[in-house]
Copies of this chain bind each other. A is one copy, B any other.
Amino acid sequence: MQVNSHNESELDLRGHAVETEGMTIQAPAGRENQKQRTRTAIIDAAREIIQGSAEVTMPAVAKAALVSEATAYRYFPDLVSLLREAIDGTFPSPAEALAPVEDSDDAVVRIAFATERLLRHVQTYQGAVRAVISGSIVRRDSAATRPGYRFGLIDHALAPLDATLGQRNPAALRQLKRDLAVVVSAEALFTLTDLCGLSPDDAVASAVHTARTITAAAIAAG
């Protein structure tokens, strides 16, 4: 995957006039296309660097994207926002991610799969995820809300419970989701590898075990 987004030729940056309802309306012209391409180039460059396990800095991304640092900051308020978007683009949707277990109604099986999936993905993009967490954890003032990809996954994995536990005891289901938000997370992975000294595989296995336990307990108690 190249750094510059050359899937469109240079010609595309010129605007085209479009006839609509008898009025001549300017289609998103060169300026818009240009902005789109610049933005894409920056994100692509960031993603490139992320995968290369090198340290991600704004100067490095800007240089790789062939834009000035000032321009990069025009499109993203800070490094964390940029990384967040770059990472987000690599995640499949919850439905896609959980496709292999879509036939199962067993919430425990589904959540185990979701946990493994998320943590392995985090592991792959470790450097960038660490940078995002590092930045988000100190400055929660500006709308630097973390993406919260985990929530979509958890909701989707627990969908079978909506009709059962969710009906009988909605508060319990909500609590279960909160419980899982702590475990099905990058923070959990890093806690297990960095502090507990586990190998990545062992860390994932441990988190999966925890997620299963919590879910099973909630179902049993619910």
Residues of A within 8 A of B (CB): 130-131, 133-138, 140, 145-146, 148, 151, 175, 178-179, 181-183, 185, 187-188, 190-192, 194-196, 198, 206-207, 209-210, 213-214, 216-218
A137/B134 contact (C-beta < 8 A), A175-B206, A178-B192, A192-B182 known: yes
**How many identical chains are in the complex?**
2
A191 in complex: contacting residue of B131, B185, B210, CB < 8 Å: B185
Contact A191 B196 (CB under 8 A): no
Contact A217 B213 (CB under 8 A): yes
Main secondary structure of the interface of A (DSSP, over half): helix
Residues of B within 8 A of A175 (CB): 206, 209
Residues of B within 8 A of A179 (CB): 206, 209-210, 213
A131 in complex: contacting residue of B133, B138, B151, B195, CB < 8 Å: B138
